[in-house]
Chains A and B, each alone.
Chain A
Amino acid sequence: MKKINTKREPFSDTQLLMTITISIFICMYMSAIGFLGGGFLHVQQLFDMLNDNASLIIVSCGLTIVMIGGGIDISVGAVTSLVVMSCVLYLSNGGNIFVSILLALGIGLTFGVVHGFLISYLEIQPFIVTLAGMFFARGMTTILSVNPQKVSHEGFSALRDIKIEIPWLGYTAKNGNLVPARMELGVVIAFICVVAVFIVLKYVRLGRCFYAMGGNQQSALMLGINVKRTRFLSYVISGLLSGISGFVFMMHTGAGNATNAAGMEMNAIAASIIGGTLLTGGVGNVAGTFFGVMTLTTIKKIVVSSGLNDPWWQNITTGGMLCFFILLQSIVLTRRNIKKKAKI
C-alpha cells in the first residue's frame, strides 16, 4: 500500500505562533550571551529564571487552557496569593504538611468550581466573575493577615530545601570549588504541570474540546460537544493550577505576604499571548506559554544585566515586547487569512 502522508503539513496557526516565540526566545538568549556574556553562559542563570518563575509557569498553563476555550481568568494571581497566606498560617500553627497541600488544592478548586459554575451555567461574563474572584481572594488574604508571615515548620523546611543538584551542569567558581546547578522542587512540579496540560490539550478528548469550543462555539455544539461542561472544566482546571501555584510559590519564598503574586495575572496573560495563545480562543499551546514566560523573564534579566537597574525599565521593555508580539500576531494572522481567501 502506498503511503498517503509523506508530505509535511504546513504549520497550523498554533504551531506558527509558537515557533515565532521559541525562535525569538533563542535569539534573545543568544544575543544576551553574546553581548552581556557572564552569567548568561551558566546554566544556573537559566535555572534561576525557572526557580523564580515556577509558579508563574503553572498559573499560565491554567490561563492558557481558559484562553484557548475563549475565556479569561484574571483571578489566578490573587488565588495564588490567598493559597500562600492560608498555607503559611496553617503550617505556622503546627499544621500537617500533607493537609496543607490538600488545603492549597482545595482553595484553588473551590475558586475554579465557583467561577466555572457562574460563567458557564449562569452565563455571566467571565471578566466580571473572575474579577470578583480576584477581589475576594485579595480581600481574604488581607483578612487572614496584613503582616508578612514566615513559616516555621520542620516538615515544610525539609520539603523546601530539597534541591536537585546537577554537578555536570555547574560551573567552577573563582575559588576553584565546583558549584553544581541547583533546581528547586517547584520547577519539577511546574514541569509536571506543563507536561500534564500539554498531554491534556493534545491527547485527551477534553483538550481537543477546549480548542473546538474556542474555535467556534456554535460548531462545537453542533459537533456534539457539551460546551457548558467543557467551559466549566476549563475554569476548574485553572483554579486547581492556581492552587498548585500557590503551594509552589510558598516553597520558593517560605513566607506569606499580602502583596504576594501581585500583578501575576497580567504577567500570565502576557506570557500566554507572547507564547501564541489568542484571547479570541482556539489557538494556543502550553509549550508556547512556557517559552512566553521564559521570554518575559529573559527580557527582564537582560534589562537588569545591562545596567538599567531601575525596575521601571523592566516594565517598559515588557510592554514594548508585548506590543511587538501582539502586532506581529495580528499582522501574521491577517496576512495568512487574506492569502487563504485569495486562494479560494
Chain B
Amino acid sequence: MDGKELLTMRHIKKEFPGVLALNNVDFTLRKGEIHALMGENGAGKSTLIKILTGVYQMDDGEVTIEGSKVSIHSPQDAQNSGISTVYQEITLCPNLTVAENMYIGREDSAWIRRKEYERRADEILSRLQIPARSTQQLGRCSLAIQQMVAIARAVDMKCKVLILDEPTSSLDDKEVNMLFKLMRDLKAQGVGIIFVTHFLEQVYQVSDRITVLRNGELVGEYLTEELPQVQLVSKMIGKDLDELSSLKENSDTEEEPGEVFYEASALSSTQTLPFNFKIHKGEVNGFTGLLGSGRSESVRAVFGADKVTGGIVTIKGQPAKITRPIDAMRHGIGYLAEDRKRDGIIAELSVRENIILALQVMNGFFKPISRSESEAFADEYIKVLQIKTASRETPVGSLSGGNQQKVILARWLLTHPDYLILDEPTRGIDVGTKLEIQKLVLKLAEEGVSITFISSEVEEMLRTCSRLIVMRDRHIVGELKGQDLNQAQVMKTIAGEIKVKSPDQLQAMKSIAGGKA
C-alpha cells in the first residue's frame, strides 16, 4: 500500500491575529489511499484544509502535487490543480438539478447541452451507484445524496485529491456505508482521499493512514492498523496514558450532593435522542465525548435552544416547562453556546451592551438597565474577569476570542444563575484564560451554582467536574464519578473499549438501535 506521493505539504505556517493556527505542519498524501486527518477543535485541521482549497493563503511553506510545486490562491486554482473538496455544509445549489450541479461552472461552451450532461451525469451516478437521477432538483434529495453528488462532481472533474470534510456527520449508518463503498472504489482508481471526521470508528473502518494535529502542530503520521483507538484519542487530546494515571485524586473526598436542582427524564429535541439527566445544587458535571457525539445537542435541549419534542423536566422538585430559551432563563438557567460567533456575541455591539443583554431580556422590555447602572455592571465584570478591552464601549467583535468568551460569561454571571451550562467555554482561547475560566467554575460551584461543563479537553473536565457523562455517536455510553474519574478511564469509554455499565442505559441503547433499524 505504499503508493507514490501525490500531495505533499511542507512546513506549512499560518498565523491569524493573535493565534498561530498552523506551525510547521507537514502532510503527505499518497496515491490511492484514504488518509484521515484527526484533531480536536482548534487543532488546525480546517485551517490546513482551507489552505489546500485556496480559501486561506499560507504564510509559509510549500505545496506540491505529483512533484511539481503549486500555488493555490482561490477555489478555482485548487480545482485546476486537481484538488476537489466536499464540505460538511453542502456547497451546491439546491435550486438546480443534479446534473446542473455537476456541470455548472465548468462547461466548455456557452450553451447548456442539457441532454448530454444528463446522460453523462446518469452514467457517473450509476457507475458510482449513487441512487439519484440527474434530473432531480438537488434540494429535494436527502443530504447524503447531495453529498454524493458533490463527490460525483469531483470524480467527474478527474480530481487527484479528494477532500471530504466531515462528510458523515448528517448521514445515517446505511448512508455512511454507501459513502464508504464509494470512497473505496475511488481509492481503487488511484484517487487520494483526505478524510476529516470526528467519528473514530469510521476512521478505523476506511482509512489507511492517520495524521494527527494538535494545537496547530503536527503530532505525527501513523498507519491506521498500527495505532490503537485509545492511543489515537490520547494523541488527539495530548496526554500519554502512562502519564495520566498519576494526575489527580481530589475527588476522593466525595461530598454528599445537595438537593437536586434540575432533573429531566426522556428529554428529547429535534437534534437528540431521548435521554435522562439530573444535576444537584452546587455540582459541576460534564458531558464528554468527541465533537458530534451529541454532547452539545443534549445541553441545548436542556436550555430549550432546539425544539424540544418530549420529556418531563422538574426544577427544584417542581415541574417546569422549558420550550424556549427565555423559559430556561426565567428558571435561572444560563447557557454559553458552543459557537461563540454564531450564537454568542452580538459582534457590532459594545462590550457593555453584550454584558447586560441577558439580564436586560430577563428584566423585561419596560425595565431597561440605565446607562450608569450598565456601565457599573460592565466595569465590575471587566475587572472581575479581567477582560482585556480598550474600553467598555469597544465593539465586542474586535476583542480576542478569550476576551469575547469572558464577555459572554459575564453576561450570564450577571443574571446570577442557579444553573450555568458552559458549552466549550475554553475553545480557541489562550492557556491563561482557560485556567481562569476553570477556576471561576469551581468558585461558582462553591457558591452553590450548578454547572454543566463541556470541553474537548478531557483534562480540563477532570479538573473541574465531579461527574462525567460520556457520549458516543449520540448515545450516553457511561457515567463516571469518584474512582472512575481519571483520564484513562474516560478515554477508554470515549473510544468504546469499556462497555456500558448500567443496565438501564444498555436497555436504552438497545431500544434506540431497534428504533433506528
Contacts and interface: CB of A to CB of B under 8 A. Distances in A.
Interface of A: 4-5, 7, 9-10, 12-14, 202-209, 211-212, 214-216, 218-225, 282-283, 340, 343-344
Nearest to A220: B93
19 contacts: A4-B122, A9-B136, A13-B95, A202-B112, A205-B111, A207-B112, A208-B96, A211-B93, A211-B95, A212-B105, A215-B94, A216-B92, A219-B92, A223-B92, A224-B76, A224-B105, A224-B106, A225-B105, A282-B94
B140 A219 contact: no
Contacts of B140: 10, 12, 340
Contact of B112 (A204, A221, A222): A204
A203 B113 CA distance: 7
Interface residues of B, number: 34
A343 to B, nearest CB: 7
A204 B95 contact: no
A5 B106 CA distance: 24
A28 B96 CA distance: 31
B109 A205 contact: yes
A198 B101 CA distance: 20
A224 B108 CA distance: 13
Given A204-B112, A205-B111, A208-B104, A224 B79 contact: yes
Contacts of A209: 104-105
Contacts of B90: 219
Given A4-B122, A222-B75, A344-B143, A205 B112 contact: yes
Nearest to B270: A341
B139 interface: yes
A12 B109 contact: no
Interface string B84-102: 0000001111111100110
B75 A221 contact: yes
Nearest to B114: A203
A14 B133 contact: no
Contact residues of A: prevailing secondary structure? helix
Given A203-B114, A225-B105, A12 B91 contact: no
A10 B137 CA distance: 9
B93 A216 contact: yes
B226 to A, nearest CB: 36
Interface of B: 75-76, 79, 90-97, 100-101, 104-107, 109-112, 114, 118, 122, 126, 133-137, 139-140, 142-143
Contacts of A214: 95
Contacts of A212: 93, 96, 100, 104-105
B139 A340 contact: yes
B126 A4 contact: yes
Centre residue among A207, A219, A221, A340 by max chain B CB count within 10 A: A219
Contacts of A283: 95
Contacts of A340: 139-140
A4 B76 CA distance: 33
A322 B118 CA distance: 37
Contacts of B111: 203-205
A208 B107 CA distance: 11
A14 B97 CA distance: 12
A221 B79 CA distance: 12
Given A203-B112, A224-B106, A225-B105, A5 B93 contact: no
